[in-house]
């Protein structure tokens, strides 16, 4: 796999080429994912739930994410490595700059932040300081207690328009990528078509530029609640490598997600 950069993903979008992404937390899995052609790896604060057994992502620290970022970046040196900014690590622009510096020094090529208009100055400041930003709208897990649970966002004309408007403003502020999580399929299509930057979906239907899953959901080893948008690829293959290859192939050819994984 050639080195993947933001320019690579921008070219994919212009060409209409869909791409796969996965969460990763260590060097071994990162290497295995890259070998199967996964171009984008996210060190998600989901590690709090899938690795540490917490009920949400709120206990994860910048140091936690930096530790796993160092491992992933060594295992997959040619992938685009994105690091999540954990809960309350970017409450002010200055705090965001410090947190991002730690994660970039650990090996990230981009940081991801959850939220809309309140982050515009932070996104501008990070971009001006040479830190690429992935924005995250829709269901933002760090806001789980505000939402009252893990619920689909953007239903209804007003809520959908609010997400679209925020996405455009984040792009204008300098965001280089957007994750849309748990939003209606048609809203995700509208946002993806309106933006010039790549949009990665999770529970956002088949029309986004890329698709991401938590690796544990891909392998069907998530304990407890299994999201509607997840698919157990290990159940239909005979190895971890084959499961990843099947995910990449289905995403690239537009076969994942299917209607059963989408929200109306």
Domain boundaries, the chain: 6-261
Which residues are catalytic, by number?
181
Give the model's pLDDT for residue 231.
95
Q: Determine whether the annotation assigns residue 46 to a binding site.
A: yes
Count other C-beta atoms under 10 Å from residue 125's C-beta: 18
Write down the CATH number for the domain with range 6-261: 3.20.20.60
Give the model's pLDDT for residue 143.
75
Q: Determine whether the annotation assigns residue 231 to a binding site.
A: no
66-76, pLDDT tens digit by residue? 999 999 999 99
Average pLDDT for residues 204-223, to the nearest whole number?
Answer: 94
46-55, 56-65, 158-167, 221-230: which has the minimum mean pLDDT? 221-230
User: 231-237: which pairs have CB atoms within 8 A and are 24 or more residues apart?
Assistant: 231/256, 231/257, 231/261
Average pLDDT for residues 50-70, to the nearest whole number?
Answer: 95
pTM of the shown model: 0.96
Average pLDDT for residues 91-101, to the nearest whole number?
Answer: 98
User: Is the pLDDT confidence value at 145 over 70?
Assistant: no
83-92, 105-114, 217-226: which has the minimum mean pLDDT? 217-226
Q: Which residues, at least 6 apart from 25, have a Cβ–Cβ distance to it below 8 Å?
A: 43, 47, 51, 68, 71, 72, 215
Q: Determine whether the annotation assigns residue 84 to a binding site.
A: yes
Q: Determine whether the annotation assigns residue 217 to a binding site.
A: no
Q: What percent of the chain has pLDDT over 70?
A: 97
User: Is the pLDDT confidence value at 150 over 70?
Assistant: no
Average pLDDT for residues 174-185, to the nearest whole number?
Answer: 97
117-138, pLDDT tens digit by residue? 999 999 999 999 999 999 999 9
Give the model's pLDDT for residue 46.
94
Q: Determine whether the annotation assigns residue 45 to a binding site.
A: yes
């Amino acid at each position: 796999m050639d080195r993947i950069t933001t320019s690579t993903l921008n070219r994919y979008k212009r060409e209409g080429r869909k791409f796969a992404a996965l969460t990763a937390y260590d060097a071994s899995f990162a290497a295995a994912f890259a070998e199967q052609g996964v171009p984008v790896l996210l060190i998600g604060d989901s590690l709090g739930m899938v690795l540490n057994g917490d009920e949400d992502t709120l206990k994860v620290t910048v140091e936690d994410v930096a530790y796993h970022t160092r491992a992933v970046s060594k295992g997959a040196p040619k992938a685009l490595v994105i690091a999540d900014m954990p809960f309350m690590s970017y409450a002010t622009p200055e705090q965001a700059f410090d947190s991002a510096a730690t994660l970039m020094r650990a090996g990230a090529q981009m940081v991801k932040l959850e939220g809309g208009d309140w982050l515009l100055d932070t996104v501008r400041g990070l971009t001006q300081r040479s830190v690429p930003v992935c924005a995250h709208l829709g269901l933002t897990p760090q806001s789980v207690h505000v939402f009252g649970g893990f619920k689909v966002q953007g239903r209804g004309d007003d809520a959908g328009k609010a997400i679209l408007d925020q996405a455009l403003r984040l792009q204008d502020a300098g965001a280089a990528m957007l994750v849309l999580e748990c939003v209606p399929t048609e809203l995700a299509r509208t946002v993806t078509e309106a933006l010039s930057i790549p949009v990665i979906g999770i529970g956002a239907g088949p029309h986004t530029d890329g698709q991401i899953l938590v690796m544990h959901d891909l392998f069907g080893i998530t304990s407890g609640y299994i999201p509607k948008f997840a698919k157990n690829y290990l159940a239909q293959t005979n190895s971890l490598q084959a499961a990843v290859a099947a995910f990449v192939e289905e995403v690239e050819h537009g076969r994942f997600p299917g209607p059963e994984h989408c929200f109306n």
